[in-house]
């Protein structure tokens, strides 16, 4: 199960499992983002390559406009996956 909400500061709050079945929803919800944005992974247990790909697309779009996508509160496992994939050089990760 996956859930995606907007926090009081406009950040995205992800929880559950972000896999291929969820990427269309994430892509659609994040189309409205036009400025730098934060995605809070504190409730996220799993992210598939499809989930990583949709975030990469958002990062590319924002970067082309001079903005960024910051990822925060990644668990140890997800942080390691992002490091191995080289995404720690693409995203601002805290």
**What CATH number corresponds to the domain at position 72?**
3.30.750.24
> For residue 41, what pLDDT is reported?
98
Counting the structural domains of the chain, the total is 1
Give, as one character, the DSSP assignment of residue 68: -
User: CB count, 10 Å around CB of 50?
Assistant: 15
Per the structure, the complete domain to which residue 17 belongs is given by 2-93
Q: CB of 84 within 8 A of CB of 49?
A: no
C-alpha to C-alpha distance for 62 and 75, rounded to whole angstroms: 24
| pTM for this prediction | 0.92
pLDDT in tens, the chain (94 residues): 999 999 998 899 999 999 999 999 999 999 989 999 999 999 999 999 999 999 999 999 999 999 999 999 999 999 999 999 999 999 999 9
Q: What is the pLDDT of residue 27?
A: 96
Give residue 20's pLDDT.
96
């Amino acid at each position: 199960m996956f859930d995606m909400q907007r926090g009081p500061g406009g950040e995205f709050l992800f929880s559950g499992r972000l896999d291929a079945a969820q990427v269309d929803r994430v892509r659609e919800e994040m189309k409205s983002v036009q400025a730098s944005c934060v995605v809070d992974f504190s409730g996220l247990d799993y992210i598939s390559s499809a989930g990583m790909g949709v975030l990469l697309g958002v990062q590319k779009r924002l970067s082309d406009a001079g903005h960024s996508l910051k990822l925060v509160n990644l668990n140890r496992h997800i942080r390691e996956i992002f490091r191995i994939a080289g995404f720690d050089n693409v995203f601002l990760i805290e």
